Structure formats: structure tokens, C-alpha cells
Amino acid sequence: MAAFATTGPVLRGIVTALPESVSENRDLGAQFGDEAITKIIAATGIERRPVSEAHTVSQLGEVAARRLLDGLGWAADSVGLMIVVTQTPDYPLPSTACVLQNRLGVGPGALCLDIALGCSGYVYGLSVVSSLMQSAGIARALLVAGDMTTRMIDEDNRALKPLFGDAVSVTALEGAEAQIAFDLGSDGSGAPYLISRTGGLVESGPPRLFMDGTQVMAFSLKQVAPSIARALDAAGETIEAMEHVVLHQANALMLKTLGHKIKARDDQMVYAVRDYGNTSSASIPLALCDRFLTGQKRLSNATPLRLLLCGFGVGWSWSSAVWTTPAPDLIDIVRVR
């Protein structure tokens, strides 16, 4: 585990791209039975999910990035670093970051790489971006995070099909004037409980997701609260001072349980599972977009945002950040046909 505080980048904007197609969980009653689906919706809080049968991470990422660059008035070649966090890359090789670099026209001198992480990946990516921007003197960066998880789930998988959605989020980061603290960790003994055994070199075939929900819950209850406590301690902050507490959006039950465990007020907690489901590494930035766009919380440039972010899951891995940053100039959610 590593907990540390540093000077980090300023949040300039977030745009999340979603497939236009939406799957209503109520409609799954015809396949799995109305009673079973009603119970799943009640337990998870997930009513519908964006689902794609054709998009790739780079395709959705390009739409989000172009909206972000245009809205901020950034030239593509002003971006010196781009990291893509995904477990559903366009190709085994090259990296999706290189594919997206070419699509966007980001300059050939930029640092572009992939990070293969899921639910903890956004905060891990933020830590890597922060470190590289400081050490390499990079002024502007894009953090791309998202997965096409629904294409890893069998059509007849009642346990997983109602839970996951597809999304790709792009975050614009600039300078090094914000205060940020991280806690990062992993435990590979959890690998068998949230895994696709196929799709790699060990076992051929299309990727297929397996999840042991009981083990995932036990891991989350064990690791999330201590990770958040370490990040708050590194930042010299308290949970009461956090304006927005954004945990990985796994399901409503887990969010409420963890919120109670970390003693966060309900007005601090961000809930965005109802219309999106679990969108893996995109869930934290998508939840922020939803928070600010739906009127739950209005952005104000008068005071900095005080954000507590925490991702956790596949690996096992976990990542928390306490981030004080000026409010972003652009927040948006776009639908892609």
C-alpha cells in the first residue's frame, strides 16, 4: 500500500460518451422472470444501462475527447500525455492510447499508454497522470477511462446482465496547482473472484466475465474504509470536509453500506447507478458528470471542489484520492449512435 500527498493537476473538464442504446432492466423480466428482476432492481438500484453491440473504447473516447477539446478550446497537439484505462482494449496490441492518439491528432511527441485496470482504474490513472505531469513537466493531459463490459457477459447470465453498462469518460487535466492525496493498493489473491478466464494466452476464446458477488462485497467492506481513512490522513482532511464523495458505482446497496461505514452524510454521497449501472473504470467520472448535470449539485467557480474519490474491485485493487481543485469549465454527457 502507498499513501502520499502531492501537488496535482487541476480538473478542467469531464465528458462521458455513452452508447445511445439503453437496456431497461424491467424488460429482462420476459427472459429471467418478473419477480427475479424486480428483486435485482430493488437490491441494486439499477433500472437501465447504456449498452453497445458495436462501439469500441477508442470510438467512444474520440467522441468524448473531441467534445472536451473543442469546449475547452484546446488544440489536440497541446496535449502532452494521454492515458487510457481499460480492460476491453480495441486490440491486444497496439495500445488503445496509441489508436486514440492517431484518431485525435495528438502530437507524436506525446506520452500515450494503457493501464489495464477496472473499477479502481480511474484513481490509479489519476495518480499516474499526476506523477508524469510533474516529473516530465507536462502542461496538459487527457485521462480516458472506460470499458465495453456488456460484451463480456453471456446473454443468459441473470446474475451479471442487469448490472453492467458501457461508457467511456475523458478527463482534461492541466498544470500542477491542485492539492491531491492518494492511497493505492492491491491484493492478487482476489483474482479468481472477479475474472475473465478466457480471452488471454492461458485460455482461448472470447472474454467472459465471472463474478463472485459475496467475495466482492466482503473485499469491499474490508478494504474501502481503511483506504479512504489513509487518503484523508495523508491530505490532512476529514470526511466531514468533503463536498462530494464519489465511490465506484457498483450498486446502490454497496454504496449505501460503504457510505455508512465511512460516516459520510447522504448529501455528500454521489449515487449514479440507476440510469447507468456499473460502468467499470468510467463509473467515477460518469457519476461526477451526472451529479453536476442533473442539478443535484451546481458547480460554482467561487470555491474549489473538495472531492473524495474511491475505486475498488477487480484484482483485488483499491484506490482513493482526496482532491482539492478549482471547479471544471466543462461537464457533459453525450450519446453516440
Which residues are tagged catalytic? 119, 248, 278
- Under DSSP, the state recorded for 82 is E
φ, ψ at 160 (rounded to 5°): -105, -30
Question: What is the rounded distance in angstroms from the CA atom of residue 147 to the CA atom of residue 106?
Answer: 22
Angle, nearest 10°, between helix axes 34-44 and 252-261? 30
Residue 186 parent element (H or E): strand 167-186
Closest CA to 305 of 323, 290, 331, 284: 323
Handedness of CA 237, 125, 285, 193 (dihedral sign): negative
Q: ∠ at Cα 227 (279, 243), nearest 5°? A: 70
Helices (H) and strands (E) in the chain — how many of each? 8, 13
Helix (H, G, I), strand (E, B) or coil at 208: coil
Cα 323 from chain centroid (whole Å) = 16
Question: What is the rounded distance in angstroms from the CA atom of residue 77 to the CA atom of residue 109?
Answer: 9
